[in-house]
Structure 1
Amino acid sequence: MAVSTLQRIGTPGRPWGEAEIAEWRSRQPRRRSYEADVLQRVEALRSNFDVEQYGELDYAPDRYPLFALRSRDWRDELSCVLVTGGVHGYETSGVHGALRFAERHAPDYAGRVNLLIAPCVSPWGYERIHRWNPLALDPNRSFRENSPAPESAALMNLVEPLRDRFLLHIDLHETTDTDESEFRPSLAARDGKEFVPGEIPDGFYLVDDSEAPQPGFQQAIIEAVAKVTHIAPADARGEIIGSPVVAPGVIRYPLQELGLCAGITGAPYRTTTEVYPDSPRATPEQCNAAQVAAVRAAIDFALEDRAADAK
């Protein structure tokens, strides 16, 4: 495996300081457009949603407005569903899957749930196809009180007034080959630690909440996605990315303890999707479709399960 060029920043075994972070940031060119890929599609959805600006990131010389899509027929008596994408900006299908769901399928749930969709939480990372923000922070480890990541803080502020009204939160992610070749080595270098190689799973999987697992909910999503793309098998140790597989394509993390996005609400149903776009068995179209299938299956299961409990 080639050594990440980012591992060569700074002194091995010593955590990065401001100089090293500045050097790393200087190596991150803009590679695609948040304006063209996200904001223009959000603007086109104004006829179907209330579009809300919930923050703005000031990363001089760039500024990034943050937008969420809110159901136009919002009704206080209905439960709320939160869909988030692009918490890691490089995870392309999370962003485009959230937007595709809003464009093609949100009307199916009108009058049934209130939808709140934040399609691109980390636009600086989206443009640079990177996991971190420009402070060399991972937004998906920063969803905690007094968050150091402005992206995470802005989303938490948006969600907080509705925190206990959410029925469901689905956070759309990818696991890519660059996790192993670039981002995990970079993390080790940033923190002054030795990089220990791991293994990238070939296929889609989910991360459930170990503190409040919902196995039936997770399995319903896996079954829906399996019709679109393949599900990641366990490795030789019975694990996916170092965590025991508890059901086909499902692992568990303590979401709130780790500061993960999927833990920011009190929703009884919550999950993180992980699409694998680098598989020779998957196309970008399949990855986007898998994210949409996951969102639809999650909402359908939550509504049906809640209705069954009410009988």
Structure 2
Amino acid sequence: MSENTYPVGTPGQPWGGAERALWLSRQTRHRSYATDVLSVVERLRDRFDVQQYGQLDYGEDSYPLMAVRSRDWREDLPTVLVTGGVHGYETSGVHGALQFLQTEAERYAGRVNLLVAPCVSPWAYERIHRWNADAVDPNRSFREDSPAGESAALMRLVAPLGDSIVLHIDLHETTDTDESEFRPALAARDGKPYEPDLIPDGFYLVGDSENPQLEFQKAVVEAVAKVTHIAPPDDQGEIIGSKVVSEGVILYPFKPLGLCAGLTNARFATTTEVYPDSPRATPQQCNDAQVTAVCAAMDFALGQAAR
């Protein structure tokens, strides 16, 4: 452990309203959700159904929340949920989801109902941040009475689908800024000591400790290994503090932690983690890894359903 020297707050004391306001005042817009996401979604309308499932209002900023659905939706087909940008700073999660829609999604027409929410946290996307404007992490907020509007809106969108969802793949990244900014900020916000960790170099998956489905996880890792390298375990046999249970796979309890990947009761669920800061990976490679993961996950799930 080390004393937290994050520039907002007093070490050892959780943030109050003044600290959250100071933190918010330090956040700067770096990119455009309208340009990068909404314009792409708009161009997909000729091939898919596009749905606004909510709206976020933060001060003067307003963000429509958009989802893309299969046009040939059928009640007798299984449903696949793809989510990206739950953490807005994790760029390939957003652009990978959009690339999948643009290049691969139509291959599955007539085989699955597809629902894609490519950018769950647009305010954070624009500011390249993990939290929303209230300093709340949406990916710890998928629970009843959610404190995050981003999470609550996605929960409302998905709720009517019930157990028809057989697969949920949530697209994320692990970045160097996890250690330089976001984990120190979390410790400062909560008044706790900062505990440094290592950033893994490569792709890995987070499965559900209560429903691991390791053959499924293995199939996704093997497919992605053809696109980019898989993160090795550290000297303790761990990745970010969790035991590696299969090459490139660790496990978290999805629902108790309020993770997006625990949003449904899908038989198959996983969180991808791409490492965009690796000298061995380009931005396009990161996007390709996300697309490959989605396709491999869908192929495995459909293969199991056909048995």
TM-score by length of 1: 0.97
SS of 1:290's equivalent?
A: helix
Q: CA deviation at 1:17?
A: 0.5
Distance between the aligned counterparts of 1:59 and 1:48, measured in 2?
A: 32
Q: Which residue is 2:113 aligned to?
A: 114
**C-alpha deviations, 1:211-243, integer Å up to 9, x for none?**
011011000000000000000000000000000
Q: Which residue is 1:215 aligned to?
A: 214
Q: CA RMSD in A?
A: 1.2
Distance verdict in 2 for CA 1:4–1:173, change over 3 Å: farther
Distance between the aligned counterparts of 2:38 and 2:162, measured in 1?
A: 26
CA contact (8 A) 1:6 1:24 kept: no
Distance between the aligned counterparts of 2:3 and 2:175, measured in 1?
A: 15
Q: Which residue is 2:202 aligned to?
A: 203
Q: Which residue is 2:81 aligned to?
A: 82
**Mapping of residues 117-132 of structure 1, within 5 Å:** 117-132=116-131
CA contact (8 A) 2:4 2:194 kept: no
CA contact (8 A) 1:225 1:290 kept: yes
Distance verdict in 2 for CA 1:4–1:164, change over 3 Å: farther
Where structure 2 has 5 or more consecutive residues not aligned to the other structure, the ranges are none
Q: CA deviation at 1:163?
A: 2.5
**Mapping of residues 34-73 of structure 1, within 5 Å:** 34-73=33-72
Q: CA deviation at 1:6?
A: 7.8
Q: Which residue is 2:249 aligned to?
A: 250
1:154 matched to 2:135: no
CA contact (8 A) 2:197 2:240 kept: yes
Distance between the aligned counterparts of 2:83 and 2:230, measured in 1?
A: 21
Distance between the aligned counterparts of 2:167 and 2:11, measured in 1?
A: 43
- State which drifts further: 159-168 or 83-92: 159-168
Distance between the aligned counterparts of 2:5 and 2:269, measured in 1?
A: 34
CA contact (8 A) 1:4 1:181 kept: no
Where structure 1 has 5 or more consecutive residues not aligned to the other structure, the ranges are none
SS of 1:93's equivalent?
A: helix
- State which drifts further: 163-172 or 4-13: 4-13
SS of 1:97's equivalent?
A: helix
Q: Which residue is 1:229 aligned to?
A: 228
Q: Which residue is 1:178 aligned to?
A: 177
SS of 2:271's equivalent?
A: strand
CA contact (8 A) 2:4 2:184 kept: no
TM-score by length of 2: 0.98
Counterpart of 2:186, as a letter, is L
Distance between the aligned counterparts of 1:128 and 1:4, measured in 2?
A: 27
Q: Which residue is 1:271 aligned to?
A: 270
| Matched positions, count | 306
Distance between the aligned counterparts of 1:192 and 1:45, measured in 2?
A: 45
Q: Which residue is 2:168 aligned to?
A: 169
Distance between the aligned counterparts of 1:190 and 1:76, measured in 2?
A: 45
CA contact (8 A) 1:52 1:70 kept: yes
Counterpart of 1:304, as a letter, is G
Distance between the aligned counterparts of 2:208 and 2:228, measured in 1?
A: 23
CA contact (8 A) 1:163 1:264 kept: no
Q: CA deviation at 1:82?
A: 0.1
SS of 1:8's equivalent?
A: coil
CA contact (8 A) 2:11 2:191 kept: yes
Identity among equivalent pairs (%): 71
CA contact (8 A) 1:4 1:182 kept: no
SS of 2:9's equivalent?
A: coil
Distance between the aligned counterparts of 1:282 and 1:259, measured in 2?
A: 30
